Amino acid sequence: MERASIRKNRFFLWAVIIAVLNPFFSGLILGLYMLSEPDFRKEGLIVTLFSIAWGIIAFLLLSKFRSVLSF
């Protein structure tokens, strides 16, 4: 039982890291996959919402600082 819990936590941490690095594509797909699994519903909801929120923040920051980033 403890081994399954460690594996579940490790999978959740990797999902959050992936969502931070690539929120809209990989993070959203991984979050939706986790939502479809009965054991990962709560974690899937967290990853999906975090991925959407982080993606929106990233796009807003990109649009705000677009003139600074252009070469």
Stated pTM of the model: 0.82
The per-residue pLDDT of the chain, averaged, comes to 87
- Higher confidence at residue 67 or residue 36? 36
What are the backbone dihedrals phi and psi of residue 70, each rounded to the nearest 5 degrees, phi first? -75, 140
Q: At residue 70, does pLDDT exceed 70? A: no
pLDDT: is 64 or 53 the higher one? 53
- Tell me which amino acid residue 34 is: M
Instruction: Give pLDDT, residue 42.
Output: 92
pLDDT of amino acid 57: 94
Is pLDDT above 80 for 43?
A: yes
Integer Cα distance of 67 and 48 in angstroms: 30
